[in-house]
Amino acid sequence: MIQTATVIDIGGTHMRWATWSANKGVGNRTSIPTPGFHQHPDMSVQQLQQRLVKTICDIPACSQDMTVGISFGAAMNHHTATVYASAPLWGAHNTPFDLYSELIRLRPDVKWHVVNDVTAALLHVISTPLCAQDRKVMVVTISTGIAARTIDRATRHIPFDSCGLQGEIGHLPATTHLSREAVHLLCDCGESNHLSSFSSGRGIARMADLFKAREPQAWADSVLGGSINEGSDFEPAFITALDANDTVANMLLKAVTSPVADVLRTALCLDPDLDRIVLTGGVAVSLGEHYRSAILKHLRTAGLYLTSHLDFDWIASRIVIAEADCLAGAGVAATFGAWQ
């Protein structure tokens, strides 16, 4: 079994790396912006992809370890490590990209292990005490992108379909309402009215802009609107407003969590074997109990048929928020090599 590795987490906004060992876990972390179309709008997707590969191979730690585990924020074939698409990085582009082969071409001396970032998050979460008594666990990441992954801990099996995919919920059709009207928004992938259109980090910011346009006076009078008008960034202003029980912030949170609750309701209805649903990612973790409470309110008022009324605690006990470390998960993937 491999004992040490370089681990890299490629997100839609930032790219982090560190050393990892089976005994000590993740070491000192370094972060740089991920080369994507938001940061480099003048570059083609092919140029962005080549720049990404070169950036990975130029990481100093890759010169020290011959094993590298990568957690990649993209829809990818887990059987082959071919990347299908990454809306946060490449927008609507969906021509398959053989990342694995490109890495080997530049650094054939390295043993590469590439998994989706949600798989990495799941591999970390199931190794923590939180899930020690659970058999079947689902991780749902709410961040720049949205996706889910499920594992049976008894068999260590993560099921994938014929395309090597599972849980790409961010691009499922979704609906929501804001200021008593239906909302129609583009997703980063170029399609309209996906879950990520409304509920991803960028989606929530777009929803806030829409509320401001629809209800300018209510926005101006709100704690949220006031904080932003005074120069605060959206994310800390949103948290501050929720802490203050701001009406507008609560309305926004209700609207952006509704499509997520729709998916979780369906998941629990179809698979009651799920012992734990862990909500993670920058959005869910930063909003914390505000986010979980909003999800549970949806599931109480429009929940599972009969179960929400007869045993709501069964639902509530399964849904938690926890921080997942994709770097640690990439280390697990590199160590065991079982999810390549």
CA distances from 335 to 45, 84, 107, 223, 314 (A): 31, 25, 19, 48, 35
CA distances from 251 to 198, 222, 254 (A): 13, 11, 5
Sole residue written with tokens 């777009």: 206
**How confident is the model at residue 263, as a pLDDT?**
98
Helix axes 117-125, 326-336, angle to 10 degrees: 90
> What is the residue type of 211?
F
Cβ atoms within 10 A of the Cβ of 57, count? 16
Domain 4-124+325-336 -> CATH class: alpha beta
Q: Boundaries of CATH 3.30.420.40 in the chain?
A: 4-124+325-336, 129-321
- Mean pLDDT for back-to-back runs of 10 residues, the chain (340 residues): 81 88 87 86 91 88 75 89 86 88 91 92 94 96 93 91 95 95 93 97 96 97 96 96 98 98 98 98 97 98 95 98 95 69
Written as six digits, the tokens of 149 are 């992954």
**How confident is the model at residue 49, as a pLDDT?**
92
Residues ≥6 apart with Cβ < 8 Å to 231: none
Do residues 312 and 172 make contact, with C-beta atoms less than 8 angstroms apart?
no
- Looking only at the bridges linking them, the beta strands covering 136-142 and 146-152 are antiparallel
pLDDT digits (tens, 9 = 90+) for 77-99: 988 889 998 888 888 888 899 99
Helices (H), 166-311: 195-199, 201-214, 216-221, 223-229, 234-243, 247-270, 282-287, 289-301, 307-310
Sequence length of the chain is 340
**How confident is the model at residue 264, as a pLDDT?**
98
> What is the fold, at CATH topology level, of the domain defined by 129-321?
Nucleotidyltransferase; domain 5 (3.30.420)
pLDDT digits (tens, 9 = 90+) for 50-81: 999 999 988 866 656 688 999 998 889 988 88
**How confident is the model at residue 338, as a pLDDT?**
46
How far from the centroid of its chain's Cα atoms is residue 84's Cα?
16
